[in-house]
Structures are given as structure tokens and as C-alpha cells.
């Protein structure tokens, strides 16, 4: 399979999982590839997960919305 059909590790760029059957789209409003109902994602392989971790944190409010 072509490497472009895989989601690759964000650390070492090795293949992590086969994603060719997922529904990606690219629109003028979002000129990057978007996956249905997905905001943002990071992927790490088994080897990199031994030394790295993915942490989800809440974004800070923009200054104009801060009270």
C-alpha cells in the first residue's frame, strides 16, 4: 500500500494505521483535508508512545472574550 494511504506518526513519520477508507474532504472554507466530525488529531506509533504522550487541554479564551 502507498504511504499516502496511511495516517503517519506525528513524531517519526512511520505508518500507524490504514486510513484510505475514511471520508476526507477539502473545501474552500477549510483548504486542508478534514475528516467528518473531527476537529483536530495527533497520532503516535507504538514505539514513540514509549517516550511521548498526547495530552488534550482546553484552549484559552481569546483576549476579547476574557472577563
pLDDT tens string 8-17: 899 999 998 8
Residue 12: HSE in the Cβ half-sphere, 13 Å Cα cutoff: 12
> Does residue 1 carry a pLDDT above 70?
no
Place of cell 508512545: 49
Considering the entire predicted model, what is its pTM?
A: 0.62
Q: How far apart are CA 37 and CA 35, in angstroms?
A: 6
Q: What is the mean pLDDT of residues 57-66?
A: 79
Cβ neighbours of 52 (radius 10 Å): 14
Amino acid at each position: 500500500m502507498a504511504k499516502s494511504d496511511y495516517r503517519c506518526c506525528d513524531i517519526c513519520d512511520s505508518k500507524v494505521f490504514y486510513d484510505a477508507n475514511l471520508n476526507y474532504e477539502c473545501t474552500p472554507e477549510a483548504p486542508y483535508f478534514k475528516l467528518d466530525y473531527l476537529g483536530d488529531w495527533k497520532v503516535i506509533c507504538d514505539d514513540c508512545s514509549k517516550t511521548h504522550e498526547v495530552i488534550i487541554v482546553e484552549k484559552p479564551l481569546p483576549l476579547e472574550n476574557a472577563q
